[in-house]
């Protein structure tokens, strides 16, 4: 095979509760992931034996994406090859980015997930989806969900998944702010806000009302139950996000919240037409760098093209 191309989706956390800090420094989460139709594409080709992995990235703000093994897709290919016992994974990896970089939508995790399914196909490896999910959890907390897609509850660091039934599509406006927020810094800010008493860790989390709303598939009902405990931390680091959230709500969004650790904000609309109108309105305000329409849930990482 001369190449395999795969895609993987961005995620939104419909609910993200931070329960506390663990001994390993990670935060214990109770979250509901939702895969949306912003996707990155990863093409993997065989590399020259002994040459390691070469990564190139194209697309919006691609210059911010690391090359070499600092790139999660490269580490994914390396770890897959090691688990399969075929060396260190000599490969050429091309990433085409549509998911905003370091923006709270797990773009790097999507690239890793796409690289895993592409490299498994390229090398014809007899590894199961469960095997891939285990490798994914070692790469990052959000990588198993980028493999799985759909809508899922996540516990632990976010890597322990249970699928969630959702009966219809949700329609989103994704407002991408300029600049990046580093996930560890947002968690550190959450720690600081807890220490100063400004924020309380979530206790006794119950997402039953959100899950019931998803089962019924009614967006206004889902909107009532969207929550992100990291939002105060993201806004504390980037106060202008509060203005973006207010603007989206004033423009008629059913609800708005910071996506994951931010700075991207997402707004829920009643249907596709309402989302597209809302996207145009938010875009016109000039508060953010870019505005996109997206719908979810969508499938996880999958192969879309290959050449023999
Ligand atoms: O797992 P991942 O490498 O994607 O996490 C990036 C960083 O985000 C971690 O190093 C940690 O600082 C923070 N994090 C956390 N708790 C989680 C997930 C991530 O503190 N559940």
For ligand 1, the distance from its centroid to the CA atom of residue 163, given in whole angstroms, is: 22
Give, in order, the Cα–Cα distances in Å from 112 to each of 69, 220, 242, 262. Answer: 11, 34, 31, 20
Atom 15 of ligand 1 has which residue's CA nearest to it?
26
Which residues are annotated as catalytic?
Answer: 11, 142
pTM given for the model: 0.96
Atom of ligand 1 nearest to the CA of 29: 21
Q: Which residue has the tokens 């399969």?
A: 84
- 66: DSSP letter: -
- The enclosing H or E element of 65 equals none
Atom 21 of ligand 1 has which residue's CA nearest to it?
157
> In angstroms, rounded to a whole number, what is the distance separating the alpha carbons of residues 224 and 244?
19
* Residue (of 286, 166, 285) closest to 222 by Cα position: 166
Atom 2 of ligand 1 has which residue's CA nearest to it?
140
If one residue of 157, 192, 230 were mutated to test the ligand 1 pocket, choosing by the most ligand atoms within 8 A of its CB, it would be 157
The DSSP code sequence of 276-304 is HHHHHHHHHHT-SSEEEEEEE--B-SEEE
Q: What integer pLDDT is reported at residue 145 of this predicted model?
A: 98
Atom 12 of ligand 1 has which residue's CA nearest to it?
184
| Distance from the Cα of residue 139 to its chain's centroid | 14
pLDDT (tens place) for every residue of the chain, 308 residues total:
899 999 999 999 999 999 999 999 999 999 999 999 999 999 999 999 999 999 999 998 888 899 889 999 999 999 999 999 999 999 999 999 999 999 999 999 999 999 999 999 999 999 999 999 999 999 999 999 999 999 999 999 999 999 999 988 999 999 999 989 999 999 999 999 999 999 999 987 889 999 999 999 999 999 999 999 999 999 999 999 999 999 999 999 999 999 999 999 999 999 999 999 999 999 999 999 999 999 999 999 999 999 98
Atom of ligand 1 nearest to the CA of 142: 4
Tell me the HSE value of 167 on the side-chain side, using a 13 A CA sphere. Answer: 11
Give, in order, the Cα–Cα distances in Å from 94 to each of 52, 76, 153, 230. Answer: 14, 13, 31, 32
Q: What integer pLDDT is reported at residue 63 of this predicted model?
A: 85
For ligand 1, the distance from its centroid to the CA atom of residue 141, given in whole angstroms, is: 7
For ligand 1, the distance from its centroid to the CA atom of residue 108, given in whole angstroms, is: 13
Atom of ligand 1 nearest to the CA of 157: 21
Tell me the HSE value of 174 on the side-chain side, using a 13 A CA sphere. Answer: 26
Atom 13 of ligand 1 has which residue's CA nearest to it?
184
For ligand 1, the distance from its centroid to the CA atom of residue 304, given in whole angstroms, is: 30
Give, in order, the Cα–Cα distances in Å from 106 to each of 133, 182, 197, 261. Answer: 16, 11, 29, 10
Q: What integer pLDDT is reported at residue 47 of this predicted model?
A: 95
Atom of ligand 1 nearest to the CA of 261: 8
Length of the chain (residues): 308
For ligand 1, the distance from its centroid to the CA atom of residue 192, given in whole angstroms, is: 16
The set of protein residues with a Cβ atom below 6 angstroms from ligand 1 is 26-27, 29, 140-142, 157-158, 183-184, 187
């Amino acid at each position: 095979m001369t190449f395999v191309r795969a895609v993987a989706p961005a995620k939104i956390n419909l609910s993200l509760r931070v329960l506390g800090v663990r001994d390993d420094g990670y935060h214990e989460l109770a979250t509901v992931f939702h895969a949306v139709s912003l996707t990155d594409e990863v093409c993997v080709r065989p590399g020259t034996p002994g040459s390691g992995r070469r990564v190139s990235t194209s697309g919006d703000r691609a210059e911010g994406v690391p090359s070499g093994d600092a790139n999660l897709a490269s580490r994914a290919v390396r770890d897959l090859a090691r688990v399969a016992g075929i060396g260190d994974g000599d490969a050429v990896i091309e990433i085409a980015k549509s998911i905003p970089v370091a923006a709270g939508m797990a773009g790097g995790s999507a690239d890793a997930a796409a690289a895993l399914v592409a490299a498994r196909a390229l090398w014809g490896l007899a590894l199961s989806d469960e095997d891939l999910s285990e490798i994914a959890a070692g790469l990052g907390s959000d990588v198993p969900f980028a493999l799985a897609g759909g809508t899922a509850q996540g516990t632990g660091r976010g890597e322990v998944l249970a699928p969630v039934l959702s009966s219809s599509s949700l329609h989103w406006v994704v407002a991408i702010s300029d600049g990046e927020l580093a996930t560890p810094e947002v968690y550190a800010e959450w720690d600081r806000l807890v220490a100063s008493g400004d924020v309380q860790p979530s206790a006794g989390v119950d997402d039953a009302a959100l899950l019931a709303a998803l089962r019924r598939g009614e967006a206004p009902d889902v909107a009532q139950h969207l929550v992100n405990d990291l939002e105060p931390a993201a806004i504390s680091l980037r106060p202008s996000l509060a203005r973006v959230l207010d603007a989206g709500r004033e423009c008629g969004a059913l609800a708005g919240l910071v996506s994951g650790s931010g700075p991207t904000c997402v707004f829920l609309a009643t249907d596709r037409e309402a989302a597209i109108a809302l996207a145009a309105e938010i875009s016109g305000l000039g508060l953010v760098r870019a505005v996109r329409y997206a719908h979810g849930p969508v499938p996880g990482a999958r192969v879309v093209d290959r050449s023999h």
